[in-house]
């Protein structure tokens, strides 16, 4: 992060100065009050924007994909592979792949199996499929779909995962019910969340949602700043 400009000091000749002079704005009562008002407005704006994001779930726009292409600290690919433990031959589902940050490494572990990816944005699916083609990964099946109404039959998948996506869905409980429906009884679901994401689902909120949608939480990897949780259907 670049440091911001220091205090502006204007000397008698109107030139910027390095040290306080007789007209140093830092000590002028009107300038101080103005500064305080600006600061209050800025802080209020940031809090307001964060509150708006949290109460208005919406998909991360494709135009802002740099957020999902950046490294994901704490919720690394290695940690996802550890908790999801994809096995050769399995059929897995990913909800909200974005540009495929996790899709490719998971698909590569499924030798003989397939990874189905479902996203509401066609551009995200196209991006992931382009990357898969470039990397020679041929076992990913895309579908444009809403997590709240999945286009798959009951009991289709051995496992599913969804990372920094649940909070973007208008009704996360409905998405979890749909995931429970398309999983085999022995299936597993991994949910990943990261602090700083305006739509983060905290672990406490996930546990409450899991309890009312037919899942139990088996394991958690990580802490409040970023975690993967392993859920299993409770039948
Ligand atoms: C923040 S991105 C996360 C991408 C990826 N999982 C990652 O962590 O890099 C969220 C993704 O979920 C998708 N998404 C949002 N709401 C959705 C919904 N209701 N159904 C399916 N996908 C959704 C978005 O289009 C976007 O691709």
205 neighbors 231 (Cβ within 8 angstroms): no
Query: Candidates 151, 165, 172, 192: which one to mutate for ligand 1, based on the most atoms within 8 Å of Cβ?
Result: 165
Q: Residue 178 in contact with residue 216, Cβ under 8 Å?
A: no
Per the CB < 8 A criterion, the answer to whether 106 and 141 are in contact is: no
Q: Indicate if ligand 1 lies below 6 Å from the C-beta of 129.
A: no
Q: How do residues 54-79 score in pLDDT, each as one tens digit?
A: 677 899 999 999 899 999 999 999 99
Q: How far is the CA of 29 from the centre of ligand 1 (A)?
A: 49
Whole-model pTM: value is 0.82
pLDDT in tens, 178-192: 999 999 999 999 999
> Mind giving me the DSSP string for 67-94?
HHHS--SSS-HHHHHHHH---TT-EEEE
- The proportion of the chain whose per-residue pLDDT surpasses 70, expressed as a percent, equals 83
Distance (angstroms) between ligand 1 centre and the Cα of 99 equals: 9
Contacts of 74 (CB under 8 A, 6+ apart): 194, 222, 223, 225, 226, 227
| pLDDT at residue 93 greater than cutoff 60 | yes
C-beta separation of 198 from 54 below 8 A:
yes
Distance from residue 16's CA to the centre of ligand 1 (Å)? 49
Q: Rounded to an integer, what distance in angstroms lies between the CA atom of residue 71 and that of residue 179?
A: 27
What number is the average pLDDT over the span 6-27?
38
Pocket mutation for ligand 1, best pick of 120, 176, 193, 228 (most atoms within 8 Å of C-beta): 120
How does strand 226-233 pair with strand 215-223? antiparallel
**Angle (nearest 5°) at CA 107 between 106 and 113:** 120
The span from the CA of 10 to the CA of 187, in Å, is: 68
Q: What average pLDDT does the segment 196-205 reach?
A: 96
CATH number for domain 62-233, candidates 1.10.1520.10, 3.40.50.150, 3.30.70.20, 3.90.480.20:
3.40.50.150
Query: 117 CB less than 6 Å from ligand 1?
Result: no
Pocket test for ligand 1, best of 96, 117, 129 (most atoms within 8 A of CB): 96
Spacing, Cα 121 to ligand 1 middle (Å): 8
Which residues have C-beta within 8 Å of that of residue 151, sequence separation ≥ 6?
118, 143, 145
The tokens of 71 are what? 């490294």
Q: How far is the CA of 136 from the centre of ligand 1 (A)?
A: 23
Per-residue pLDDT, 39: 81
| Contact partners, residue 1, CB within 8 Å, separation at least 6 | none
Are the beta carbons of 128 and 100 closer than 8 angstroms?
Answer: yes
Q: How remote is the CA of residue 98 from the centroid of ligand 1, in Å?
A: 5
In the block, residue with structure tokens 């490719």 = 104
Q: Which residues of 61-89 are buried (b: 16+ CB within 10 A; e: fewer)?
A: eeeebeebeeebebbbeebbeebbebeee
For residue 46, the surrounding DSSP H or E stretch is: helix 29-55
């Amino acid at each position: 992060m670049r440091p911001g400009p220091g205090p502006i000091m204007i000397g008698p000749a109107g030139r910027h100065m390095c040290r306080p002079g007789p007209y140093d704005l830092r000590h002028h009562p009107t300038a101080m009050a103005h500064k305080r008002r600006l600061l209050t407005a800025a802080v209020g704006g940031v809090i307001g924007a964060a509150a708006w994001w949290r109460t208005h779930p919406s998909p991360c726009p494709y135009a802002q994909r740099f957020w999902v292409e950046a490294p994901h600290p704490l919720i690394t690919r290695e940690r996802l592979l550890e908790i999801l433990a994809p096995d050769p031959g399995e059929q897995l589902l990913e909800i909200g792949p974005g540009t495929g940050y996790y899709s490719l490494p998971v698909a590569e572990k499924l030798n003989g199996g397939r990874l189905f990816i479902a996203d509401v944005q066609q551009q995200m699916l196209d991006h992931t499929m382009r990357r898969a083609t470039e990397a020679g990964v041929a076992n990913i099946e895309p579908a444009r779909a809403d997590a709240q109404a999945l286009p798959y039959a009951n009991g289709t998948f051995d496992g599913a995962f969804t990372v920094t996506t649940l909070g973007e869905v208008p009704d996360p409980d409905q998405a979890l019910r749909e995931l429970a429906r398309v999983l085999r009884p022995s299936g597993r679901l991994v949910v990943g969340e990261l602090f700083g994401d305006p739509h983060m689902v905290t672990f406490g909120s996930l546990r409450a949602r899991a309890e009312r949608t037919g899942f139990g939480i088996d394991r958690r990897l990580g802490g409040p700043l970023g975690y993967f949780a392993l859920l299993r259907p409770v039948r």
